Homo-oligomer: A and B are copies of this chain.
Amino acid sequence: MPEENHPRFDPIGVFDSGIGGLTVVAALQELLPSETIFYIGDTARVPYGGKSRKTVERYSIEIGGLLLAEQAKILVVACNTASALAVPRMKDIFKVPVQGVVSPGAAAAVKATKNKRIGVIGTRATIASGAYEHAITTLDQESLVCSEACPLLVPLIEEGMFDDPVTDQMLGRYLAPLLDQGIDTLVLGCTHYPLLRDAIGRAAGPGVTLVDSARNCALAVRELLASHGIAAPQERLGRLHVALTDSTEGFLRTAEKALDLEIGDVELRAVQIGE
C-alpha cells in the first residue's frame, strides 16, 4: 500500500461524554507528539455518569462509529463511565483496538500501593459498575478496594471551582470514609478529576499516592500502537481536531487553558440514538 495510506498516518480516535477526556488528550500529546488526535465529546448527552449500562453502551458505540468514519486507527475511551460499562461491547463490535481508562488505572494502582489498600473515586455509574474493583482484584487478590461515588465533583470542576472552600468541603466528605480505611493509594476514576489534582492531594494528605487514569491510559495507548505497528512516524508533528455533539462549548475553554492545549475551531457532529 502507498506510504501515506498506511494506518500509522491515521488519527487516534478519543471519545468522552463531554470535555473531561481532554485530560487524556493532554497526556497523549505529551507522550506521543507525532500522533494526530481526533476527539469527540458527546456534549449533547453529557453526563454519562448517572445513566444505565444499556444507554451508555448505545452512546459509546455510536460515537465509536463516528470516530471510525474519521479513519481512527485505535479508539481511546477517555471516559471512566464508558470504559467501565461499554468497553467489552465495543471490543466485540469494532475491528480496531479499543483502549479504556480503567485497566491502566487499576494496574498503576496495584503497582503503587504498599499496604494493599486502594481507594477509588468516580461517578455513580463507574463506582456502581465495580469495574475498578474487579480489575484491581484480578491483578492482585490481596488488595482491598474502597470506593466512593463523588457525584458533585464533575459539576464543581465544570464550574472551574478548582480552588474553592466548597470544593474542599465536598472532597473532605467524600474522602473521609476512604481515609478511615487507611488507603495509601487513590485512583482518580473520572477523567475530569486530574483538573482537581491539587485540591484532591490536599484533602487526601501527603501519605496517599494519586493515580491518574489519563497518564496511564496514554502509556497503554503507546504500547498498543507499537505492538500493532501503527505508531506515527516520529519526525511528524501531530495535530488535534475537536468535535462536539452539541454546539454549546460548556467548559471547553476552561479545560483548554487548564490543560495548556491548543484547540482551534470546534466541529459539530450530529448523533442519532439507534435502537
Contact = CB atoms under 8 A, between A and B. Distances in A.
Interface stretch (A7-15, A231-239, A243-251): A243-251
Interface string A107-142: 000000000000000000100000000000000000
Interface in A124-164: 125, 151-152, 155-156, 158-159
What band does the interface of chain A fall in when counting residues whose beta carbon is under 8 Å from B?
20 to 34
Interface string A209-253: 000000000000000000000000000000000000011101000
Contact of A52 (B247, B272, B274, B275): B247
A242 to B, nearest CB: 16
A155 B151 contact: yes
A272 B273 contact: yes
Interface stretch (A31-39, A42-50, A90-98, A192-200): A42-50
Given A54-B247, A151-B155, A159-B152, A271 B273 contact: yes
A44 B274 CA distance: 13
Interface in A245-275: 246-248, 250, 270-275
Contacts of A169: 165-166
Contacts of A52: 246-248
14 contacts: A44-B51, A45-B45, A50-B250, A151-B158, A151-B159, A152-B152, A152-B155, A152-B156, A152-B159, A165-B169, A166-B169, A166-B170, A272-B274, A273-B273
A181 interface: no
A272 to B, nearest CB: 5
A234 to B, nearest CB: 40
Interface in A44-94: 44-46, 50-52, 54-55
A123 B152 CA distance: 16
Given A271-B273, A272-B274, 12 more contacts: A43-B50, A44-B51, A50-B248, A50-B250, A52-B246, A55-B247, A125-B248, A152-B155, A152-B156, A165-B169, A166-B166, A272-B273
